[in-house]
């Protein structure tokens, strides 16, 4: 099985690097790669958002600020590369074709951001589509997809199983609200739908046992492609 893991920056580096979690994650990724082909995309998280917020003081250039965020994602990616040791390709991969080449070498390609205007969720979805991955696992600081933002609505309901079309609808609704957000952004959701990618959205608690997650044993959300 070919699996792409999309790891949120706030999961790896909430306020500072979560060393214990990174060690557990790296161990599991190495072990999973013994039986499966694995690729990873790492986000920027809170650190990236803080840098971008600070940059607003100096420039209105959104593309420039996107590049700042991309650099932070790649720093986080380097941290994971260090934790994975020799199993990881030693440089942050910046191109999908290179990721494919690295997989052929039996190494794990680690990516961060690639282009302005694309979140790392979108990068992960595109990578999964390009690699024709069997599974995309999205690891976030929210433990699944909800019918509304659980950080704002205490009565929000977690959705155990949805279609890719429903994921797009939920993501679009989240982004249409002022200050709104969804676990997977709308662009990424559209790529998941287009690529017909089976996707699991899980939280940090599930991520400590990825061996079960890739078998569908988790408390997150299963996103099934339409026929």
Per-residue pLDDT tens for 87-118?
Answer: 999 999 999 999 999 999 999 999 999 999 98
Say if residue 146 carries a ligand binding annotation: yes
Say if residue 149 carries a ligand binding annotation: yes
Give me 22's structure tokens. Answer: 């990174």
Of the chain, the percentage scoring pLDDT greater than 90 comes to 85
Say if residue 66 carries a ligand binding annotation: yes
Mean pLDDT of 190-197: 97
Q: Are 155 and 147 in contact (CB under 8 A)?
A: no
Is 70 exceeded by the pLDDT of residue 176? no
Cα–Cα distance, 139 to 172 (Å, whole number): 20
Cα–Cα distance, 83 to 24 (Å, whole number): 10
With H, G, I as helix, E, B as strand and everything else as coil, classify residue 34: coil
8-65 pLDDT tens trace: 999 999 989 999 999 999 999 999 999 999 999 999 999 999 999 999 999 999 999 9
Confidence of residue 174 (pLDDT cuts 50, 70, 90): low
Is 60 exceeded by the pLDDT of residue 181? no
Confidence of residue 173 (pLDDT cuts 50, 70, 90): confident
Say if residue 218 carries a ligand binding annotation: no
pLDDT (0 to 100) of residue 147: 84
Residues whose CB is less than 8 angstroms from the CB of residue 166 and which lie 6 or more positions away in sequence, other chains included: 159
pTM for the model: 0.93
Cα–Cα distance, 182 to 53 (Å, whole number): 20
Cα–Cα distance, 205 to 209 (Å, whole number): 8
Cα–Cα distance, 32 to 211 (Å, whole number): 7
Confidence of residue 179 (pLDDT cuts 50, 70, 90): very low
Say if residue 117 carries a ligand binding annotation: yes
Say if residue 71 carries a ligand binding annotation: no
Say if residue 9 carries a ligand binding annotation: yes
> What are φ and ψ of residue 194, in 5° steps?
-60, -40
Say if residue 49 carries a ligand binding annotation: yes
Say if residue 97 carries a ligand binding annotation: no
Identify the structural domains of the chain with CATH numbers, from first to last. Answer: 2-224 (3.40.1160.10)
**Chain-centre distance for alpha carbon 123:** 8
Say if residue 44 carries a ligand binding annotation: yes
Is 50 exceeded by the pLDDT of residue 138? yes
Is 70 exceeded by the pLDDT of residue 175? no
Q: How many CB atoms lie within 10 A of CB 24?
A: 16
Say if residue 163 carries a ligand binding annotation: no
């Amino acid at each position: 099985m070919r699996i792409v893991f999309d790891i949120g920056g706030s999961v790896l580096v909430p306020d500072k690097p979560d060393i214990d979690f990174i060690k557990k994650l790296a161990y599991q990724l190495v072990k999973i790669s013994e039986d499966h082909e694995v690729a990873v995309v790492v986000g920027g998280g809170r650190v990236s958002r803080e840098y971008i917020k600070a940059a607003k003081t100096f420039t209105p250039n959104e593309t420039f600020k996107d590049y700042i965020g991309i650099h932070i994602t790649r720093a986080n990616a380097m941290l994971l590369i260090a934790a994975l040791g020799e199993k990881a390709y030693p440089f942050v991969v910046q191109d999908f074709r290179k990721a494919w080449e690295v997989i052929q070498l039996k190494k794990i390609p680690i990516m961060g951001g690639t282009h302005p205007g694309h979140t790392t969720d979108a990068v992960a979805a595109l990578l999964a589509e390009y690699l024709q991955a069997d599974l995309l696992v999205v690891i976030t600081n929210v433990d699944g997809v909800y019918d509304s933002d659980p950080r704002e609505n205490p009565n929000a309901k977690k959705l155990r199983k949805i279609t890719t079309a429903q994921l797009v609808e939920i993501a679009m609704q989240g982004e249409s609200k002022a200050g709104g957000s969804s676990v997977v952004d709308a662009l990424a959701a559209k790529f998941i739908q287009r690529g017909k990618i089976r996707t699991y959205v899980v939280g940090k608690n599930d991520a400590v046992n990825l061996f079960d997650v890739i078998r569908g044993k988790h408390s997150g959300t299963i996103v099934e492609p339409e026929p």
